[in-house]
């Protein structure tokens, strides 16, 4: 599988989704998500923002197929999600690399498991190694990398299967501010080439405004949509220019306000 750069695209639809985590004798059940409906257009970049515990990861895990809705359904393209699949790449806050596999073999994990021809897989891996700035580190072990480099490997690993959907749960949350910014730029530059549909969870309002076409702000648990904000800035965006754009401060203020005051006004 050489990297084609052309891939299938798909929308994500949450159709009246509710999710309860079951209780037991000692604790009650948790209603994490209530009657959540959202349509994410194919090829768009959507950020989910909301207070801790409002159900962002639960939504992402349901779209990934790791969790199942208690009621309602999730569609990717026209297919209902019933479990994980190679059409959806997932990146978490931790890179979750296999410590015994070197960088290149962590990146080729998906195609290797799928039994793809090794020569083609390696060609695709080299493409993403170059794209993510990991050239020269192909044969390093994960423990020999910095946190930012480990996340680059996780990004390359998610991207090598050319997923139509990329699900990201605070992928840069553990990185320092400078590294985070360069990872955001890297993510957008790859996304502009591939135009996968991205659902990206973050706590960081600046990150959401820099990355997203649309920001969905959730209420506290059970998570519902509190606000649906369109980010008006054209692409490509330059971070330094963006933060002095006349509309930036007002958008940041209203977004921050909606996140912080969700509890009082929902
Ligand atoms: N495996 C689980 N079993 C039981 N309850 C869970 C489980 N996972 C999450 N929860 C509960 O569901 C609610 C939503 O959790 P979730 O992890 O989706 O929130 P979140 O918005 O991602 O929070 P954060 O911003 O802190 O990551 C929380 O109250 C949490 O305690
Ligand atoms: Mg979470």
Site to probe by mutation for ligand 1, drawn from 19, 21, 169 as the one with most ligand atoms within 8 Å of Cβ, is: 21
Domain positions in the chain: 12-97+165-265
**Which phi and psi angles does 71 have, rounded to 5°?**
-150, 165
Q: Which run of H or E residues covers position 76?
A: strand 71-76
What is the Cα–Cα distance from 228 to 30, expressed in whole angstroms? 25
Provide the pLDDT confidence category of residue 264 given band limits of 50, 70 and 90. low
Instruction: Tell me, using a 6 A CB cutoff, whether residue 19 lines ligand 1.
Output: no
What is the Cα–Cα distance from 7 to 10, expressed in whole angstroms? 10
Instruction: Tell me, using a 6 A CB cutoff, whether residue 53 lines ligand 1.
Output: yes
Is the pLDDT at 67 greater than 50? The verdict is: yes
Is the pLDDT at 172 greater than 70? The verdict is: yes
pLDDT at site 263: 61
Distance 21 CA to ligand 2 centre (A): 15
| CATH class belonging to 12-97+165-265 | alpha beta
Averaged pLDDT for residues 138-145: 97
Is the pLDDT at 154 greater than 60? The verdict is: yes
Return the ∠ at Cα 102 (arms to 66 and 93), rounded to 5°: 40
Instruction: Tell me, using a 6 A CB cutoff, whether residue 23 lines ligand 1.
Output: no
Give the helix ranges, DSSP H, for 92-247: 103-107, 109-113, 118-131, 147-159, 177-194, 205-211, 239-242
Distance 6 CA to ligand 2 centre (A): 31
pLDDT at site 135: 97
Instruction: Tell me, using a 6 A CB cutoff, whether residue 30 lines ligand 1.
Output: yes
User: What is the pTM for the complete model shown?
Assistant: 0.94
Nearest to 197 by CA among 230, 170, 162: 162
Instruction: Tell me, using a 6 A CB cutoff, whether residue 28 lines ligand 1.
Output: no
């Amino acid at each position: 599988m050489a990297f084609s750069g052309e891939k299938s695209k798909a929308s994500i639809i949450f159709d009246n989704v509710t999710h309860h985590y079951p209780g037991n004798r000692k604790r009650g059940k948790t209603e994490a998500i209530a009657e959540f409906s959202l349509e994410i257009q194919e090829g768009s970049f959507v950020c989910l923002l909301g207070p801790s515990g409002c159900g962002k990861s639960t939504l992402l895990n349901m779209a990934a197929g790791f969790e199942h809705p208690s009621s309602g359904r999730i569609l990717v393209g026209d297919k209902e999600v019933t479990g994980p699949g190679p059409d959806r790449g997932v990146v978490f806050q931790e890179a979750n690399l296999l410590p015994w596999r070197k960088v290149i073999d962590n990146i080729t994990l998906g195609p290797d498991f799928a039994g793809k021809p090794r020569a083609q897989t390696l060609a695709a891996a080299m493409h993403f190694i170059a794209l993510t700035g990991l050239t020269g580190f192909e044969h390093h072990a994960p423990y020999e990398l910095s946190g930012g480099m480990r996340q680059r490997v996780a990004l390359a690993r998610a991207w090598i299967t050319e997923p139509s959907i990329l699900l990201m749960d605070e992928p840069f949350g553990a990185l320092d501010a400078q590294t985070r910014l360069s990872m955001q730029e890297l993510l957008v530059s790859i996304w502009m080439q591939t135009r996968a549909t991205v659902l990206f969870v973050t706590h960081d309002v600046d990150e959401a405004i820099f990355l997203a076409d649309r920001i969905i702000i959730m209420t506290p648990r059970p998570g519902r949509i509190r606000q649906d904000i369109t980010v008006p800035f054209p692409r490509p965006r330059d971070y330094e220019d963006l933060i002095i754009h006349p509309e930036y401060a007002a958008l940041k203020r209203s977004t921050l306000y909606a996140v912080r005051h969700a509890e009082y006004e929902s």
